[in-house]
Amino acid sequence: MKILVTGSYGQLGSELNILLRQYPDIQSIFTDVDTLDICDKEVVNRFFEENQPDFVINCAAYTAVDKAESDIELCYKINRYAVENLAESAKKINAKIIHISTDYVFDGTSSVPYKEDSIICPKSIYGKSKAEGEAVLTAINPANSVIIRTAWLYSVFGNNFVKTMLRLGLEKEQISVVFDQTGTPTNAADLARAILSITNSNNCVAGIYHFSNEGVCSWYDFAKAIFELKNLPCKVLPIESSQYPVPAHRPHYSVLNKGKIKATFGITIPHWHESLQRALTNL
């Protein structure tokens, strides 16, 4: 089996790089913008024809949520039009695509965990661009496309909330974190293992799936857990989102229902606190 990973320098791509290298029977190709410009249709077509991957795992994305509100063209170029390029090229060689999407396709007004068939209503440019990426992939290559929506991703790689909290916890005596945004942190290493399970399954069922760690918390709860696990004395003060204004809308509730991915692929998902503790030992 040959697997192509795009966006391999990011959090998830880096975790997949480590994981896939443990399987010598899998031929893995890791790319990023310096080795494969997925925004260039001709380049993508040629790359797919030459390398003939069986699976494409698209980890590439524009994820600067606030910056996207003003950097609209580039956001859509990566999150929508590059996905179209990948979908068309994959269809030509009958390759399967696993595409990573986001909880930001929802407006965050639900009071129960979002299912895959819940109505999407993105409120930010980032969310809208990712929703269009989902739509174009489903329209072009529905039989061979797996879309995984995830949330609150963190890793030992890249920049993320966990690393920011660790830095602030060493620099400050107290910080303020919003308590009225609720979701579930996702360890990118857990998501990488779930993706590998899908590629190894005998029946890769196309469709949309949700994946995050188990459990629910607020960003405030998440920050407190980080400091407690690392024995940092920094005090965390809860504040409302209105006290921390940002350009892009954040869903106030973005808990994802993972029943479908667990039932379809037999995946076991650890609790977010357990995965956080494991990640912090590597930081």
Amino acid at position 29, single letter:
I
Joined together, the tokens standing for residue 227 give 């400091």
Please name every residue paired with 29 in a beta bridge, in sequence order, or none if there are none.
Answer: 4
The yes-or-no answer on residue 154 being catalytic is no
Please name every residue paired with 162 in a beta bridge, in sequence order, or none if there are none.
Answer: none
Amino acid at position 58, single letter:
N
For the chain, state the CA radius of gyration: 18
- Domains observed in the chain: 2-159+185-214+254-271 (3.40.50.720)
CA distance 37 to 40: 6
* Residue 113 DSSP label: P
Instruction: Give the Å distances, CA to CA, from 220 to 103, 184, 224, 257.
Output: 19, 12, 6, 22
Joined together, the tokens standing for residue 120 give 């999407």
pLDDT at 144: 95
123, 107 contact by CB (below 8 A): yes
Instruction: Give the Å distances, CA to CA, from 119 to 65, 99, 103, 107.
Output: 21, 19, 12, 9
User: For every one of its 283 residues, what pLDDT tens digit does the chain have, with 9 covering 90 and above?
Assistant: 999 999 999 999 999 999 999 999 999 999 999 999 999 999 999 999 999 999 999 999 999 999 999 999 999 999 999 999 999 999 999 999 999 999 999 999 999 999 999 999 999 999 999 999 999 999 999 999 999 999 999 999 999 999 999 999 999 999 999 999 999 999 999 999 999 999 988 788 999 999 999 999 999 999 999 999 999 999 999 999 999 999 999 999 999 999 999 999 999 999 999 999 999 998 8
Span 214-239, pLDDT tens digits: 999 999 999 999 999 999 999 999 99
Strand pairing report for 27-30 and 2-6: parallel
Residue 154 — φ and ψ, nearest 5°? -145, 165
Span 87-126, pLDDT tens digits: 999 999 999 999 999 999 999 999 999 999 999 999 999 9
CA distance 59 to 269: 20
Active-site entry in 76, 114, 126, 154: 126
The proportion of the chain whose per-residue pLDDT surpasses 70, expressed as a percent, equals: 100
CA distance 45 to 49: 6
Residue 171 — φ and ψ, nearest 5°? -95, -30
